[in-house]
Amino acid sequence: MKENARQVRAEGRIVGFVPTMGALHEGHLALVRRAKLECAPVIVSIFLNPKQFGPKEDLAKYPRPFELDVEKLNSVSADALFAPEPGDVYPPGFSTYIYVEGLSERLEGRTRPGHFRGVTTVVLKLLEIVQPHLAYFGRKDAQQVRLIQQMARDLNLDTEIVICPIVREADGLALSSRNAYLRAQERRAATVLYRALDAARREMTRGVRDPLRLQNLMRKVLESEPLANVDYSEVVDAHTFEPLARIRRNCYVLLAVRIGKTRLIDNLFVEAAGPDSEELLFHL
Ligand code: AMP
């Protein structure tokens, strides 16, 4: 992979990269389509990274439909697939890790200790192997992409990190490889994340700027769904991921909710229209 990527760079081509864990869906394919608009070649990786799963998490049962994934990548004309084995990525004696302080400890990091250390370590390795000009990530994993941007900046990486919008089902559920775990009744219940975020958005369009009011409203929506168990529901600054006293700057409304045994995350990105503007733009 390193040799191939080096060669295309030497030819003066713009290398785009889309890292994934496989079990591909329209969210992943949207990243590839976007990358195709800006880069050639577009390289996709499929690597189910064991280091970002906790001991009690779903690594063993995570779906691995490799042949189907290859077909999907062909359908969007991805140029190359990099699908290394865990033993190649982490040979015996592997002992170097990347850790972004502060940002890694909150929210997803608190519920999933070690998760972000595994993410940043593998993403840095993949970026070093492929050395893309641009790498594409989904806003679905908002904290993850914020961490990756921080890492890219702190370590002077040459890759530009591009953030792409969340792709949703018609009823609002954000696409996720983990949606495959949901039984029919759970699948219906899972729309509660979108309904809670949408309720928060409506309050903000009515002028509400108090995070506590939004959180209370979202709790109410989430608690109305018997199958839902809230892990967190927070309004945070989009840069620091720290709680906010009042919604002014760019922020995220973030949710992590268990539906049965399946843990789902989703978010609403709220963008301030201008530096001192009260007007907000919503990305749901
Ligand atoms: P994963 O395979 O879950 O590691 O995801 C690979 C990339 O796809 C990450 O950058 C995710 O944020 C992105 N992604 C996953 N689901 C979606 C979605 N519904 N919409 C947009 N991007 C997504």
Identify which of 64, 137, 266, 283 to mutate to test ligand 1's pocket (most ligand atoms within 8 A of the CB): 137
Q: What value does the mean pLDDT of the chain take?
A: 97
Q: Is 115 a known active-site residue?
A: no
Band the pLDDT of 274: cuts 50, 70, 90: confident
- Tell me which H or E stretch contains 2: helix 2-10
Sort strands 160-164 and 134-138 into parallel, antiparallel or unpaired.
parallel
- Which of 25, 28, 115, 283 does the annotation list as catalytic? 28
| Protein residue with least CA distance to atom 6, ligand 1 | 20
Task: Give the alpha-carbon dihedral of 270, 175, 140, 28, to 10 degrees.
Answer: -130
**Nearest ligand 1 atom, CA 144:** 12
Other CB atoms within 10 A of residue 97 CB: 12
Contacts (Cβ under 8 Å, ≥6 apart) of 168: 174, 175, 194
pLDDT digits (tens, 9 = 90+) for 99-133: 999 999 999 999 999 999 999 999 999 999 999 99
Q: Which region holds residue 133: left if phi is over 0, alpha if psi is between -120 and 50, else beta?
A: alpha
CB distance 122 to ligand 1 below 6 Å = no
Give dist(CA 76, CA 57) in Å, integer.
31
Distance 5 CA to ligand 1 centre (A): 23
Strand arrangement, sheet containing 134-138: 80-82, 42-46, 16-20, 134-138, 160-164
